[in-house]
Structures are given as C-alpha cells and as structure tokens.
Structure 1
Amino acid sequence: MLDLDSFIYKYVVKRHQSMFLTDIRNHEDELKEKIKGKTMLVIGGAGSIGSSFIKAVLPFRPSSLIVVDINENALAELTRDLRSTKDMYVPEEYVPYPMDYASDVFQKMFRYHKGFDIVANFSAHKHVRSEKDIYSIEALLQNNVLHAKILLDLLSEYPPEEYFCVSTDKAADPVNIMGASKRIMEDVIFSYSDRFPVKTARFANVAFSNGSLPAGFLERIRKRQPISAPYDVKRYFVSPEESGQICMLAAMLGNNREIFFPKLDEVQMMTFDKIARDLLAEEGFEVLECASDEEAIDRAEGLKNGSHQYPVHFEKTDTSGEKSTEEFFTSDEKTDMKSFESLGVITDKNIPDKNRIELLYNRLTDALDNDKTTKKEVVEIMHEYLPNFRHIETGKMLDSRM
C-alpha cells in the first residue's frame, strides 16, 4: 500500500523531513507562550491546510478549539483522525461546527463565545477552475473577499490576539481571478490591522491536497481511469504537514501586516507529469503515453484486464489563468530573508487606503447584484484596483479536460 507522506517527501518536495522543523524548534518557547491556554477558532479547518494547521498547533495545548467548515463529512473525518492519533492532545472543549462562516448562526456562535484569542481562516476558493463564468466568479469573490470583510467586522466586536488568513503564491502579480481575489484579500485584512494583528502566508502548491491534480491521480488509479496532466507547468510544492506549519509560524510569530513564504529554489520546482510518472512507477505500472484524452480512455479498458501499462495523456497547457512562472513576492515588496531559517517575510506593508477598499467592495457588490454583469466587467473592476492584474483568458477551462 502506498505511503503517501513518504512518497511526497521522496519524490515531490525531495526532503527527508519538514523544512520548517528547525524554525519550530528555534521558536518553541515563543510558540508555547502564544498558544498554550488560548482559545482558538479555525474556519475552514476540515480542509487540507486547515486540518494540517490544527495538527501543528495542538501539541502546544490551546485551552479550546472550535472548528467551522461547511463540509460536514470532512469535519467528522477530522474528528476521527484527531481522536485516533496516538498522543494527540485534543482540548476538553473541542467543538466541530458544520456551518458557513458568513451565516447568521455563525455570528450567534461567535458572540456566545465572546470571541477567541486566536482566529485562523482557511475558507477559500483556491482553484483557477473556479472562475469559468460570472456565477462561479461571484461564488469565488464572495468567499475570498466579500465574506472575509463581513468576518473582519464581526471580529472587531471581540478583537483576537492574532488573526491569520491564508493567501497564495498566485497573489504576486496575479494572472487569474483567484490569485487577484487573494491579493485583494490581503489588502482587506490589512485594512483592519489597526484593530487587531493580522498576518498571512503565500505558499506553494500543497502536494496531494484535496481537489488538487495530484490528488486526482490517486482517484484515477483507484478507479483504473487514465491520467491527464500538463508537461510544461512547473510549480513549487510543500507537503501537507509543511502547509500547516508555515501557517502556524506566520500566525504566531509574524508581526502585524507581515506575509510569510517558504524559501524555495527554482531547482525544487516540479512538473505534474513527473509526479504522475513517479506515482505510477511506485504503484507498479509502466507509463503508456497516448496522443489524446480519447485514446487514453480507450486504452484504459486494458487496466480492467490486469494490464500494467497505464495510459496517460501529457500535453501543453492552454487553459485560462495559468501562470508561466511561480513567485512569492514582487520587486516592489521588501523582504526579510534572515529572521527565519526556512521562511522569508514580506515586511513594511502599510495600512491600505480604507476608502479605496470600501469603494471596491461596493463596486463588486453592486456588479454582482446585477444579473447582466459579465465576467469581463468584473475583471475590469479588479484591474482598476490592481493595475498589475494581467488576466490571461484563452477561452479554454480546466473543466474541459480529463
């Protein structure tokens, strides 16, 4: 049976252990001081990064943990996972709530608890495929931007000691709506930094995270279906364990309005087809390259008869919003590369112009309330706020691929 964690460290991130262990050990006392005995709210805590964050912070013994997620089944699995893990500390007050953080019932729950010492928000649309038309764009912007502001207004009633909201490497010079929405989100949360400390992190793709292409490889193999992947897209990767650790370090050790990112070199970038090849070899298959999705689907019938030749279709990417290079910061952002062994920090970010953010919020709200608003018009509104937003539109979406 495949040991996925071992596979990720050996073939994807190519490390023997987490790259953040040294920083965690160097700052162990500070982490204990920041977390031990504190009340904690984790939004989107049943997802890949949120659940990894929870596992990173629990050894430092918070007094309570409230987890909110709209995925009821994932919350149940998170609870079973925590309860079944040897020596895992789970606070006496541990409550998983299947609810939307933008709902009235969430506000009731929050006010009942009179806020929390630490609040971490992992609720986000993270896929470029989530921007195919005006309806999917509205859902993305509601979650990543508009509802985030509603949450911040609520937090202002009972200001937390620390607020963390996850960003993405795609927020640096964004070329897709998802990346631009997270870049705007950074400004939105920073505009509240005069009320309570806010921090975020831009990091690489999380290897085999829920819904990711590598996670899809596992499903295709399980179902004996062909694999499709681009051969020309290079990406940085961190392990699921590392994704939670970088968020913990940023949330607890970061200063107000700082953005953390992993120190990764270009030589550590991976292509998706290489991951697929290594995974298939580890599972005992030979790669059978096909010229099209249709050929790969036809050849996959042989898998049902015990064939060890696995059909794949690797092709050049041509879908909207794909960035040719990955970057964590832009040339006009100041960085601190010395304070941490494995982390860089974007520093000296100013409090954004609140009037500009309020105007953007109102323009987006009005546009999305209008049934005749188009995708192009929303992109134009975002571009006016972010002049460096260069939306790449090819007319082709990932949902048209296997």
Structure 2
Amino acid sequence: MFDLDKFISSYVIHRNTSMFLHDMDVNNQELTQRIRGKRVLVIGGAGSIGSSYIRVLLRYEPSELVVVDTNENALAELIRDIRSGGGIKIPNIFKTYPTDFNSTVFCKMFRAYEGFDIIANFSAHKHVRSEKDIFSVESLIQNNILHAKKLLDILAECPPEVYFCVSTDKAANPVNIMGASKRVMEDLIFSYSDKFSVKTARFANVAFSNGSLPASFLSRIQKLQPLSGPMDIRRYFVSPIESGEICVLACILGRNREIFFPKLDKVQMMSFDKIAEDLLHTLGFNVCYCDSEAEAIAMSKSLKQNSKDYPVYFSKSDTSGEKKFEEFVTNTEQTDLSRFASLGVIVNKSIPDKKSINNLINKLDTTFRKEETTKAEIVSILKEYLPNFSHIETGKSLDNKM
C-alpha cells in the first residue's frame, strides 16, 4: 500500500521528523497556557492548511472550536477524520458551518457567539492560475482583499486576542496578482493591529495539498492519465503537519505585526518533474518522456493494457506570473533569526497608512463596478500601491496546459 506521508518524508522534504518539532517541544508549556480553555474560530478550516492547523491546535485543549468553510463535503470529512482518529481531545463545543465568511449568515453567527479568543483565517485564493482573465482576477481580489476588509471590520466589533491569516512567499517581491494581493493583505491586517493583535506567515508549498500539482499527480495516476509539469521551477516544501505547526507557532507565539517564515535553505528546493519521477518509480512505473502533450495522451492509452511505461511531458514554464525562484524576505525587511530554531520572523513592521489602503480598496471596488474592466487596469492599480510589483505577463495561463 502506498504511504503518502512516507513518500513526502523520503522524496520531497527529506526529513523523517517535523522541522518544527524542537520549537513545538520547547514552547509546549506556553502554547498550552495560551490555548487551553480558549474559544477558537477557524475560517477556511476544511482545506489542507486549515485542517492541519486544527489538528495541531487540538493538542492544547481549546474549550470551543467553530469551523467555517464553503466546502460542505470537506467539512463533513474533517469532522469524520477528527472523531475517528483517536488520541485527540475534542472540545465539548465543536461546530462547523458551511458558509462564506462574507455572508450574512456568518455575521449572524459571529455576533451570536459574541466573538472568539483566537481567530485564524485560511480562506484565500492561492493559485497563480487565478489570474487567467478579469473574472478570475476579480474573484481573487474580492476574496483576498475586499472581503477580507469586511471581515476585519466585523471582528473589530468583538476584538479577538489574536487574529492570524496565511500569506505566501509570493508576497515578497511579487510577480503575479495572487502574490500582490497577499502583500496588500499583509498591510490590510496590520492596519487593524491597533484594535487587536495580528500575525501572519509566508508559506512554502505544502506537499500534496489540495489543488496542488503534486496532488494532481495522484489523481492522474488513478485515472491512468499522463503527468505533466514544469522542469525549470524549483520550490520550497513543507509537509501537511508542518504547515499546521507553522501556523500555530506564528498565531500563538508571534507578536503583533510579525510575519513568520520557515528557515529553509535553497538546496532543499525541489522541482516538480523530480517529484513526479520519484512518485512513478515508487509506484513501480518506468518513466517514459514525451515531446508533447498529444504524444503523452496517446501513449497513456497503453496503460489500460497494464503497461509499466508511464508517459510524462515536462516543459519549460511560459505562463503569466510564474516566478522562477522563491523568497520569503525582501532586502528592506528586518528579521529575527534567533528566536526560533526553525522559523525566522520579520519584525518591526510599522502600522501601514490606513488612508492609502482605503484609497486602494476604494479604487479596486470602483473599478470592478464598471461594466468593462481589464486585467491590465488591475495590475496598474496594484503597481501604484506596490511599486516593486513586477508583473510577469506572457498571455498564457496554466489552464491552457494539462
């Protein structure tokens, strides 16, 4: 039987234990003191990172846990998984609501609960492919920025002790709209830091997370379809449980207006084609390299005759917004690399200018209300606010590829 966790440890992250184990152990008592008995709200908690955060958080016995997510099926599976796993103390109050955090239902629920002590938000558009056209761009901006502001305004009615949400490595010197939206999101949440404590984390890729390219490899193999991916893109990876540990450490131990990031060395980067090759070899296949998508699709038909030659098509990246390398920190940001063994912290971030942020949000909202808006207009507006936003536009989208 294929063991995905073992594969991730052996071939993707190249470590048998969590890189955050030491920091979790050293800070166990403080984490327990700050979480035990607390009322917790997790938004987007049925996704890969949100559910991992919940599993880690439950080690420290919060008194209440409310989870909100738009994916009703994933919420049902989250409940089944937690209740079936054993060894986890489940709070007496553990409820899930399949709704959008921008909905009227969410507002009613939040006010009925009279707020929460700890709030973590994992609801976001996270894919670069979300900038294929103006409609996908608007959906991304609405979720990551405009609706996020409405959420913060609601939270200010009953301020939490802690508010945490996830950023991305792509927010450092962004080249795509998703990364730029997350960079704006950082300023947006920090602008509320005079009302409640806010923290975030710039992430590496979570290995085999929902919707990721490695996860799609498993789906393609299950359906006997060819694998494809870029051969010139290298990324940092953490395991699913490590993603939850990063968030708990940042959320609970971070100070106001701090950004956490994993201490990963460039030699630890992995390429997607190498992951695909190792996965196929582990499953007993021979990798058969093709020169085009059409050739790979044609060859995949032989798999139905129990062939062990598995077709793959790897190519150079040529789509909009694709950064060739990853970075967590810009050269203008101050870091504390001594506080944690496995995590760096971006410190001394000032409260952003609220007038500038509100002007940006008003401009985006006004532009989206027009009958016709272009992707180029949105890029231009974001560049006004983020002078270092160097958008990469090739006219091609990941949706045009296998």
Counterpart residue identity of residue 318, structure 1? D
5+ residue gaps, structure 2: none
| Counterparts of 1:369 and 1:6, CA distance in 2 | 49
Q: Name the residue aligned to 2:156.
A: 156
Superposition deviation, residue 193 in structure 1: 0.1
Q: How does 1:97-116 map to 2 (within 5 A)?
A: 97-116=97-116
Q: Name the residue aligned to 2:276.
A: 276
Superposition deviation, residue 86 in structure 1: 1.6
Q: Name the residue aligned to 2:263.
A: 263
Counterpart residue identity of residue 287, structure 2? V
| Counterparts of 1:135 and 1:315, CA distance in 2 | 28
Q: How does 1:191-340 map to 2 (within 5 A)?
A: 191-340=191-340
Q: Name the residue aligned to 1:61.
A: 61
Q: Name the residue aligned to 2:146.
A: 146
| Counterparts of 1:39 and 1:101, CA distance in 2 | 18
The superposition leaves residues 108-157 of structure 1 with CA deviations (integer Å, 9 ceiling, x where unpaired) of: 00000000000000000000001111110010001100111001000000
Counterpart residue identity of residue 5, structure 1? D
Q: Name the residue aligned to 1:90.
A: 90
The superposition leaves residues 275-319 of structure 1 with CA deviations (integer Å, 9 ceiling, x where unpaired) of: 000000111100000000000000000100000000000111101
Q: Find the residue that maps to 2:221 and give its secondary structure.
A: helix
Q: Does 1:22 align with 2:17?
A: no
| Counterparts of 2:76 and 2:362, CA distance in 1 | 37
TM-score (norm: length of structure 2): 1.00
Q: Find the residue that maps to 2:90 and give its secondary structure.
A: coil
Superposition deviation, residue 325 in structure 1: 1.3
RMSD of Structure 2 on Structure 1 (CA): 0.5
The superposition leaves residues 24-43 of structure 1 with CA deviations (integer Å, 9 ceiling, x where unpaired) of: 00101110011000000000
The superposition leaves residues 256-279 of structure 1 with CA deviations (integer Å, 9 ceiling, x where unpaired) of: 000000000000000000000000
> How many residues matched?
402
Counterpart residue identity of residue 53, structure 1? Y
Residue identity over aligned pairs, in percent, reads 64
Q: Find the residue that maps to 1:279 and give its secondary structure.
A: helix
| Counterparts of 1:149 and 1:175, CA distance in 2 | 23
Q: Find the residue that maps to 2:383 and give its secondary structure.
A: helix
Superposition deviation, residue 89 in structure 1: 1.5
Superposition deviation, residue 90 in structure 1: 1.1
Q: Does 1:374 align with 2:365?
A: no
Counterpart residue identity of residue 154, structure 1? I
Q: Name the residue aligned to 1:178.
A: 178
TM-score (norm: length of structure 1): 1.00
Superposition deviation, residue 189 in structure 1: 0.1
Q: Find the residue that maps to 2:120 and give its secondary structure.
A: strand
Q: Could you tell which deviates more after superposition, 117-126 or 81-90?
A: 81-90
| Counterparts of 2:141 and 2:83, CA distance in 1 | 35
The superposition leaves residues 152-181 of structure 1 with CA deviations (integer Å, 9 ceiling, x where unpaired) of: 000000000000010000000000000000
Q: Find the residue that maps to 2:274 and give its secondary structure.
A: helix
Which runs of 4 or more aligned residues in structure 1 lie more than 6 Å from their structure 2 counterparts after TM superposition?
none
Superposition deviation, residue 182 in structure 1: 0.2
Superposition deviation, residue 88 in structure 1: 1.4
Q: Name the residue aligned to 1:51.
A: 51
Q: Does 1:129 align with 2:129?
A: yes
Q: Find the residue that maps to 1:19 and give its secondary structure.
A: coil
Counterpart residue identity of residue 167, structure 2? S
Q: Find the residue that maps to 2:346 and give its secondary structure.
A: strand
The superposition leaves residues 299-350 of structure 1 with CA deviations (integer Å, 9 ceiling, x where unpaired) of: 0001000000000001111011000110001000000000000000000000
Counterpart residue identity of residue 86, structure 2? K
Q: Find the residue that maps to 1:115 and give its secondary structure.
A: coil
| Counterparts of 2:309 and 2:186, CA distance in 1 | 46
Superposition deviation, residue 371 in structure 1: 1.8
The superposition leaves residues 59-117 of structure 1 with CA deviations (integer Å, 9 ceiling, x where unpaired) of: 10000000000000000000000000021121110001000000001000000000000
